Structure 1
Amino acid sequence: MDENRSPLEAHPVIGLSYARSAESYSEGYRAEIIGLAERAESYLLAAGADVIMLDASVDGVPDMHRLDGVVVMGGGDVDPFLYHSEGHPSISFVDSAADRFESSLVRRAVESYTPVLGICRGLQIMNVALGGSLIEDLGEGTIHGTATADAAMADHSVQVVEETLLSTILGVGDITVRSSHHQAIQRLANTLQVSAWAPDGVVEGIEAKSHPDGTTPWAVGVQWHPEEAGTQPGQFEALVTAFIAAATEKQIAKRASEQDAESTPVG
């Protein structure tokens, strides 16, 4: 956090979660995941947020009271036990502790109307945590990964759905994204809706549905990596700007509630 910032200014506190200490990760994979998380952190800081890095492998129970927003980053495959599957030989880099932590983090955030942004694995965790399931392997030759030894990401298009929150952020129609995943959403959680599709029918974006009372949690997940260096300029900035605006509203509302509680007479 920046000690030079005024405490009167709105600087939402964002929890940036990823499995930094996962024992199942190779050193090369860990370095890649850390690099993406640090790039995301730099965008959040530039947008005016204070960032708390959460190591999902060791952090235990999420402390939602101190957070105004949550970002769940990419990483290893989600444990198939969480969506009642026997698994697939291709599943790798599973960290059950991170799965438990981030599932709880997502559920608590949505329940408390704390904004959530999920990236790649983060989208999958959002879906599983809220009751959905995953396709455990898309197979070889999909557009979502690359067989090139010197490239970690693949470029492909996605179609953003009209009249969704994601469309207000990125616009409607085709955009080019960078991705690297072999799993995807199979059964969508009941409280979520699709906000983007890949040409092959894979779900690429999700967001929260409105509740019966008309309120809608700010919860957006993208299956691609907008924080990756080769992404089209402005894409991650747009997502971060919208996310930080929602987190700032959460912070202001929380401060107002705390002030009301302090001013209410006891007895």
Structure 2
Amino acid sequence: MHRLRSLSPAARIGLSAICLALLTAIFSPLLAALPLLMFIMVCVAAPLMPACSLFLPVVSRGLPEKCAVALTFDDGPNPASTPQLLKLLAKYDARATFYVNGCRAEQYPDLIRSMLSLGHTIGNHSYSHDNFIMLKGGAALNAEIVKTQRVLNRLGVVPRTFRPPVGVTNPKLGDILDRLGMYAVNFNRRAGDRGNRQVSKLSQKILKSLRSGDIIMLHDIWPRDEEKARHWLVEVERILSGIQEKHLKILPLATLIDRPVMGFSVHHPVDRNVMHE
């Protein structure tokens, strides 16, 4: 019984589908395929839902009793957008978690140091941000995560959380994260900005149904068009001010979910008392 409880929801649903198929086969071999077909459909659809924990536990919301939300930014660091975000966050005394790509962290280490010095935390968002990494083998996925951990370790931090590219999971991810002492964090509030290619009404989409406990996902990417970039910064500030107008606090992610998000490596140059997570 304990072994059954330790199985992932996908494994338990799969076993149930097999048992139902065997029972159904007694009466109709043709209908016996239906439970298995439904299970396959669930396995295909569920990974596309960032909040779904079918294959592994996924944190996608925080504690609603905190009367707060958390801000997360994906795909940085970026020499154009990151400094602007850091200025806005400092203006509102807000701490965010940046889910960075290893290749970009390697290219812009000073931006990682700036994030840390200002009290923000860092998460692992794979090395190359391959949108199709979850369709590849476990070895490729493991390499993407481990390579980013090594880059960030040299910069003084050890992320304890991983956010998969596009928020997509697969059956291999849970075992990989367990071996690395990590866990998955996605989000439940996003604006469909397509990597800051679509920033119109960004704040309206985020704030419209915002609730306490929400984990907001935005992008640390500089829009290609300068006018759109200026509009993006305006929209981000509207989000920051709009959260306050809703009488919600912006808490560090670790505080909102009540779990550590990041540790320090021996290379960490920043005073640990600066950090809030």
By the TM > 0.5 criterion, same fold?
Answer: no
> Which protein has the larger Cα radius of gyration, Structure 1 or Structure 2?
2
Normalising to structure 1: TM-score of the pair?
Answer: 0.28
Larger % of strand: which?
1
Normalising to structure 2: TM-score of the pair?
Answer: 0.27
Larger % of helix: which?
2
